[in-house]
A and B are shown apart, each in its own frame.
Chain A
Amino acid sequence: MSRKLELIVLAILLIFVAQFIYVSSTTDAEYGGADDKPEGVIEEITGGTYKPIAEPIWEPPSGEIESLLFALQAAIGASIIGYFLGYYRAKNNYEKKLGFKTGSKTEKQSL
């Protein structure tokens, strides 16, 4: 199986990391969230007259807990992706070894 695409993606990720190292070592970037920045722009445009019409119902009590919930989100997603890709990979492997197809009607028809 060709690994060409993997290498290209790896190269792009390395360029991204290099970019991060360059920016973070040459500037004093704070790396705050871009989502929060419009707040300042809105204040500037409206001259500080705009008051938010609602507050979040619940906010994570600290940055640590926020990271926890973000990590949880990523972990749930990654487990689902890993589970299904792994399941079908193993299934395809065994079918090749055993020489017959298991599973649904549609799987037998194609390929």
Chain B
Amino acid sequence: MHIMEGYLPAIWCIVWFVVSIPVVAYGVYKLNKLVKEERGILPVLAVAGAFIFVLSSLKMPSVTGSCSHPTGTGIGAIIFGPAITAVLSTIVLIYQALFLAHGGLTTLGANVFSMGIVGPIVAYLIYKTGMKAKLNFYLIVFLAATLGDWATYIVTSTELALAFPAGDILTFGGFFSSFSKFVAIFAITQVPLAIVEGAVSALLFKYIIQAKSDLLVEMKVIGEPLVRKLRGLPA
């Protein structure tokens, strides 16, 4: 989902930085507060960050005959919320921009917006809605991670279509004709990858619950009765 270095006109680079910087700054503030209050969350934070690190390094082949990678932001979004996940994603994106020439520093704002902000917001909202609807817990995690991943790629397509409309951007035809071209590349490639990401995220969540469920309860991610049920303990 990386927009390559230099492939956004300057004005759009600035727009996405302006949108992303406040969210990342708020995330840094929240992160500091959280770590000060409860140092015990550091391991879980490390695992959530590492998961983004691993998944975004996996270039997987897809049905369209091209390769793309998952984002791994679903777990972070569910446990820590979108703002802190934006911070974690920014770290990964800077690594990839500096050492791998994937994505770029000028397009960092746009890439943070799609992968670190909108994807996690979608995952977070689906998680909250699913918990209210009392669906199966792991199904909720699966849906949140899958659709969060997919949303990231839809946003990337939107960002590119806004910057490169076919014709006049104000006539919606111009925007949509470009949008459909970018979506054809990104969103379709991403469908199988997003499903795999959702499945692996659900599995990792199971192990986090087994390892550190007390913290998840404390952070109000998940209620204690449900933890007992998921771990197969007597209520």
Interface residues of A (CB under 8 A from B): 1-2, 5-6, 8-9, 12-13, 16, 19-20, 23-24, 27, 29-39, 41-42, 44-46, 50, 52-60, 66, 69-71, 73-74, 76-81, 84-85, 87-89, 92, 104, 106-107, 109-111
Contacts and interface: CB of A to CB of B under 8 A. Distances in A.
A16 B192 contact: yes
Interface residues of B, number: 85
B215 to A, nearest CB: 7
A23 B43 CA distance: 40
Contacts of A106: 38, 40, 214-215, 218
22 contacts: A2-B232, A9-B203, A12-B196, A33-B59, A33-B66, A34-B185, A34-B190, A41-B178, A42-B7, A46-B164, A52-B7, A54-B104, A54-B106, A55-B5, A57-B98, A58-B98, A74-B53, A76-B50, A77-B52, A85-B47, A107-B214, A111-B233
Interface of B: 1-10, 13, 38, 40, 43-44, 46-47, 49-68, 95-106, 138, 160, 164-166, 178, 181-182, 185-186, 189-190, 192, 195-196, 199-200, 202-204, 206-208, 210-215, 217-218, 224, 227-228, 232-233
B interface SS class: helix
